[in-house]
Structure 1
Amino acid sequence: MTVQDDPRVPDTDAVRAYLLGLQEHILVELERLDGKSFLRDNWQFPSDATLRGDGRTRVLEDGDFFERGGVNFSHVMGDCLPPSASATRPELTGRAFEALGISLVLHPRNPYCPTVHFNVRLLITTAPGEALVFWFGGGIDLTPYYPFEEDCRHFHQTCKDTLDPFGKALYPNFKAWCDEYFYLKHRQEPRGIGGIFFDDFTGESFDDAFDVMKSVGNAFLDAYVPIVERRRGIPYGKHQRDFQAHRRGRYVEFNLMFDRGTQYGIQSSGRTESILMSMPPIAKWHYDWHPAKNSPEAKLYTDFLIHREWV
């Protein structure tokens, strides 16, 4: 068997081509939703940088619908795997690595439209005299401010439908992983209503694992766009915007304190502007704030920011 025929050897060219195509496909739909164009910023690490590689940052700020949105592609290589990437697999510490993926975060202006996060990625590690190790990771999760039952069910049903062809155990496993991961331990509350999350995923072969990653990537627009199409016309005022900013503060806390992708980017001396693209443009922190009893804001906590089986 040649290296090219080995089902365990990642085809990075195929992954890169898929990710770049997915990025452009998503951008076309998001620009249709918003009416404005994303800034397109292609970049490369300088020759004297610690890292090697390139990326394509796509950012929209102060759009007609999205207050901020980013859809970033990066393909990065380095001589030492960042600590966040080997946290669950310490035997890989110090290996050289190659990572490529898409990371997306959308912050609509309308508080009745949820924030959404999505990413898919491939990571490969190598060391002299040792076997190559690779895995896929990623997921989709939803962070509503004024949620609707049917939206949450639609989001989770789409996630389930995209995974079921690969085995009925994947959705419940990835949902539980998402619920556990997107949890603010210091607040003892979820970031949102979850979705699916996976990491260290290798499947039966490279092609098998790649197919799962592609299916998750292809499901993003189907999971999210119908929700914003239903809710974008709902009127809102200062009260709803203030609550949205309050909840966005939780989003910032998670990204800076717990998010492995943010930590990976910072630890690997990555491109700061692209790494912090996920932050909302406006967020607030209120001291010891609690929602009024039986209010729509209270309903978020009592009915949605709890463990639930949505499908």
Structure 2
Amino acid sequence: MQNKISADIQRVREFLLDLQSRICHALEQQEVAGGGDAKFIVDEWERAEGGGGRSRVLQNGTVIEKGGVMFSHIHINKLPASATARHPEIANCTAQALGVSLVIHPKNPNVPTSHANVRLFVAQPEGKDPVWWFGGGFDLTPYYPNDEDVIAWHQTAHDLCEPFGADVYPEMKQWCDDYFYLKHRDEQRGVGGLFFDDLNRWDFETCFQFIQAVGNGYLDAIIPIFKKNQDLPYTEEQREFQLYRRGRYVEFNIIYDRGTLFGLQSGGRIESILVSLPNLVSWAYRAEWEVGTPERRLTDYYLKPQDWLNKTS
């Protein structure tokens, strides 16, 4: 069993490294299309406890203001109880966690912020078979959205889920709506997508195929949105609204996000954990926008969980 899981981990690792490279290449191509030449810098790092990662970050581009596409494969000698509250049976076990996680903050307010991750977690209870599960998903946080883009995003999510069962997209779409919710604001972070954790409902091979579909699906969904919107004109007022709305993104990531909390609890690399935060962001006291404006429509319409694939108006 140990040899089998080691081989499986290696296959997942190879896929994740390739996925990271393909995503960075595709986004750099969008930089070129927008007249820029910014590229992802590569930052290889190691962790004292074991393992390490390859961080790739692009900053101050023409199209992308900040983007982080992070690969990590870490070894944990003793899982802290604080990081295993949902799985107390693996507290104090050795473990491995590997994944690709990304957040892309475009410069143009007409292009949404996007997030995706796919990951594998394997714990080794002493004298027992390994305990494993996959997690991940992707979600979209627009500032000046339109129905066409949001529906296309969800259609891609639906289509990649379909081979795995008709119930998969509705379940993981709902999970995404529930997860990316700022309770203290009574507000969704964005227009959703897919979210899943503790995925071991199928055999390992099927679960691995699913996260491959999710990782590849992110590119299928986001690149057309960039191509359609990245060259649209925008005003300084729209830019200010984008920076204001980014504040909600920061609030979610530092208060609720499980990946951020796990990274901090397990002694992760702080630069990688907080790479999702944008370089520029703003907050305003009791900011308000008039009914009928695009800014008000964002919160009144788009940031309400909806059945995007069955819109009637």
Q: Same fold (TM over 0.5)?
A: yes
Contact 1:82/1:264, CA 8 A, preserved across alignment: no
2:31 equivalent among 31, 34, 42:
34
1:94 shift after superposition: 2.1
1:151-210 deviation digits (Å, cap 9, x = unpaired): 000000000101100111110010000000000011010000000000000132110110
Contact 1:106/1:116, CA 8 A, preserved across alignment: yes
1:29-57 deviation digits (Å, cap 9, x = unpaired): 11101132111111112xxx3x2101000
Q: Which amino acid aligns with 2:17?
A: L
Q: Whole-Å Cα distance in 2 between the matches of residues 104 and 82 of structure 1?
A: 25
Contact 2:157/2:217, CA 8 A, preserved across alignment: yes
Other structure's SS at 2:170 match: helix
Note the 1:93-172 alignment, pairs <5 A. Answer: 93-172=91-170
1:221 equivalent among 219, 222, 234:
219
Q: 5+ residue gaps in structure 2?
A: 33-37
Residues 1:279 and 1:3: Cα distance change in structure 2 (over 3 Å): closer
Other structure's SS at 1:164 match: helix
2:10 equivalent among 5, 9, 13:
13
Q: Which amino acid aligns with 1:31?
A: E
Contact 2:125/2:131, CA 8 A, preserved across alignment: no
Task: Report the equivalent of 2:199.
Answer: 201
Identity of aligned residues (%): 47
Task: Report the equivalent of 1:307.
Answer: 305
Count the aligned residue pairs. 304
Note the 1:262-301 alignment, pairs <5 A. Answer: 262-301=260-299
Q: Which amino acid aligns with 1:173?
A: E
1:257-310 deviation digits (Å, cap 9, x = unpaired): 000111111111111111111001111111111212211100101110101011
1:4 shift after superposition: 5.0
Q: Whole-Å Cα distance in 2 between the matches of residues 291 and 10 of structure 1?
A: 55
1:36-88 deviation digits (Å, cap 9, x = unpaired): 2111111112xxx3x21010000001011000001010000112225565232
Q: Whole-Å Cα distance in 1 between the matches of residues 125 and 3 of structure 2?
A: 19
Q: With structure 1 as the length reference, what TM-score do the two structures score?
A: 0.94
Other structure's SS at 1:54 match: strand
Task: Report the equivalent of 1:25.
Answer: 22
Q: Whole-Å Cα distance in 2 between the matches of residues 170 and 15 of structure 1?
A: 22
1:79-107 deviation digits (Å, cap 9, x = unpaired): 22255652322222222210000010000
Task: Report the equivalent of 2:239.
Answer: 241
Task: Report the equivalent of 1:53.
Answer: 51
Q: Whole-Å Cα distance in 2 between the matches of residues 84 and 161 of structure 1?
A: 37
Q: Whole-Å Cα distance in 2 between the matches of residues 185 and 94 of structure 1?
A: 31
Contact 1:10/1:206, CA 8 A, preserved across alignment: no
Q: Whole-Å Cα distance in 2 between the matches of residues 40 and 9 of structure 1?
A: 26
Other structure's SS at 1:13 match: helix
Q: Whole-Å Cα distance in 2 between the matches of residues 129 and 41 of structure 1?
A: 37
Contact 2:161/2:169, CA 8 A, preserved across alignment: yes
Other structure's SS at 2:97 match: strand
2:70 equivalent among 61, 72, 88:
72
Other structure's SS at 1:290 match: coil
Contact 2:73/2:97, CA 8 A, preserved across alignment: yes
Q: Whole-Å Cα distance in 2 between the matches of residues 211 and 73 of structure 1?
A: 19
Contact 2:153/2:221, CA 8 A, preserved across alignment: yes
Q: Which amino acid aligns with 2:42?
A: R
Q: With structure 2 as the length reference, what TM-score do the two structures score?
A: 0.94
Contact 1:177/1:197, CA 8 A, preserved across alignment: yes
Q: Which amino acid aligns with 1:261?
A: G
Other structure's SS at 2:219 match: helix
